[in-house]
């Protein structure tokens, strides 16, 4: 249990140190960074929605094919 807590404390400490370094050495302003992150998130969300729509259409096509009456 002690090793697990030590490991988690190391992760949290590393994350805080990393975040601090990024904030101190980032050449862009906070608003620019937020805007860039928002744009990246919006693009990612759109890509995920497109992929989900494509997959849904594919699965609906397969389902329609499976529902076709079979003669044989």
Task: Tell whether pTM > 0.85.
Answer: no
- Asked whether the CA dihedral 39, 44, 45, 46 is positive or negative, the reply is positive
> In the structure, what pLDDT confidence band is assigned to residue 56 with cuts at 50, 70 and 90?
very high
Q: What is the mean pLDDT of residues 65-70?
A: 91
Query: Is residue 59 scored above 80 in pLDDT?
Result: yes
d(CA 47, CA 53): 10
Query: Is residue 72 scored above 70 in pLDDT?
Result: no
Q: What is the mean pLDDT of residues 1-14?
A: 88
Mean pLDDT, the chain, rounded, equals 89
pLDDT value at residue 70: 84
Which alpha helices (H) appear in 26-71, and where do they start and end? 30-67
């Amino acid at each position: 249990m002690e090793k697990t807590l030590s490991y988690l404390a190391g992760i949290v400490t590393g994350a805080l140190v990393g975040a601090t370094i990024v904030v101190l050495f980032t050449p862009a302003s906070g608003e620019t960074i937020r805007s860039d992150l928002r744009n990246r998130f919006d693009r990612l969300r759109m890509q995920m929605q497109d992929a989900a729509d494509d997959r849904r259409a594919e699965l609906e096509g397969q389902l329609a094919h499976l529902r076709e009456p079979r003669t044989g």
